[in-house]
Amino acid sequence: MSLDLSVVIPVYNEVENLEALHAELSGVLERLGRTYEILYVDDGSADGSFELLARLQQRDAHLVVIRFTRNFGQTAALAAGFDRATGAVIVALDADRQNDPADIPMMLAKLDEGYDFVSGWRVDRQDPFLSRRVPSVAANMMIGWITGVKLHDYGCTLKVMRHDVVRGLRLYGELHRFIPALAADLGARIGELQVHHRPRVAGKSKYGLSRIVRVLLDLITVKFLSSYSTRPIQVFGVIGLLCSLAGLAITGWLGMEKVFFGVLLANRPLLWLGILLTLMGFQFITMGLLGELLVRTYHESQNKPVYRVAEVRGGTAEAR
């Protein structure tokens, strides 16, 4: 690992912002006096963004330009940049110039206080109130409550992370919104810092209200992966037991009515509900057992650890 900093910037149709962004960012990084690289990941842009990045790369040896064959999304772009980053510290930044590169030095200083991950908090956010800010506040509260990682602004792309934390992240789908929660699940110490947010002066926003549904679905995925990925029986088994007990209780009660009171059951919808719940319960338990088999096969076949060691002191030098 030869560099101090790697800056990863996903790009999608931001040709009007790139030249000014690069000049501003380069000035900040030069003043830091650290070795650095800037990785632009062109996510299938169709507006000439890649051609402009290619020209910038010819003039500046600090640049690495990665081009996708098509648009894969922001999560994939960040993952590609993280995979190729070589810096001891990795910075994630948006290409729309709403994040202020001048905030990077103070975020690095915050990281040096003992944190593994520092996330930006856009206090004075320059976005439409109803379509962007209100859904964001609700989403942040929900994500913090479900994941247990309390942050004011999960949607801020500006983040500073240590290399070993980034290497442990597995990003796919649209999990870029939950990177702090995924990092915390690895044992990273998470910090948050207020940063500037600027109004968009060029280009068009790529976000809309439709992302709310995607956030909710991805949040279920993150919660399951962080809490139950190695023990799926505790999710499906509990649901199965509750359904089975409810179904057995209903059918048992109806059976008693039939035996002792001669109540006719042929026209009782409750009977079918009891049978359905019982069968659903057995299906959920079976699903949990199959999940346990898959998890065991996955971890044993790849020799994948289910833990992350922070430090080892004493003992032999070689792992046993």
pLDDT higher than threshold 60 for residue 320: no
Question: Which candidate, 201, 154, 192, places its Cα nearest to that of 20?
Answer: 201
Q: What is the pLDDT of residue 142?
A: 78
The pLDDT value recorded for residue 168 is: 84
Q: Cβ atoms within 10 A of the Cβ of 27, count?
A: 11
Which pLDDT tens digit goes with each residue over 92-115? 999 989 899 999 999 999 999 999
pLDDT value for 277: 93
pTM of the model: 0.73
Instruction: Over range 222-245, report the average pLDDT.
Output: 82
Task: Give 168-186 pLDDT, tens digit per residue.
Answer: 888 877 778 888 988 988 8
For the stretch 29-67, pLDDT in tens is 999 989 999 999 999 898 889 999 999 999 999 999 999
Higher pLDDT, 22 or 178: 22
Q: What is the helix (H) or strand (E) element at residue 213, kind and residue range?
A: helix 211-228
SS3 87: strand
Mean pLDDT on 257-265: 82
| 7 touches 93 (CB < 8 A) | yes
| Res 311: pLDDT | 54
Burial 2-15 (b: 16+ CB within 10 A, else e): ebbbbbbbbbbbbb
DSSP state of 24: H
Higher pLDDT, 316 or 177: 177
Residue 319: pLDDT band with limits 50, 70, 90: very low
44-53, 243-252, 260-269, 272-281: which range is least confident on average?
Answer: 260-269
Sheet of 3-11, strand order? 63-67, 36-42, 3-11, 87-92, 159-162, 117-122, 190-195
Question: Other CB atoms closer than 10 Å to residue 170's CB: what's the count?
Answer: 8
Q: What is the pLDDT of residue 149?
A: 84
In order of 11, 74, 179, the CA distances from 79 in angstroms are 13, 8, 11
Rounded CA-CA distance 181/146 in Å is: 10
**pLDDT at 271 (0 to 100):** 87
Q: Are 74 and 132 in contact (CB under 8 A)?
A: no
Range picked from 47-56, 144-153, 164-173, 299-308 for highest mean pLDDT? 47-56
Residue 240: pLDDT above 70? yes
CB–CB of 78/176 below 8 Å?
yes
- Contact by Cβ (8 Å): 103, 178: no
Lowest mean per-residue pLDDT among 108-112, 232-236, 312-316 = 312-316
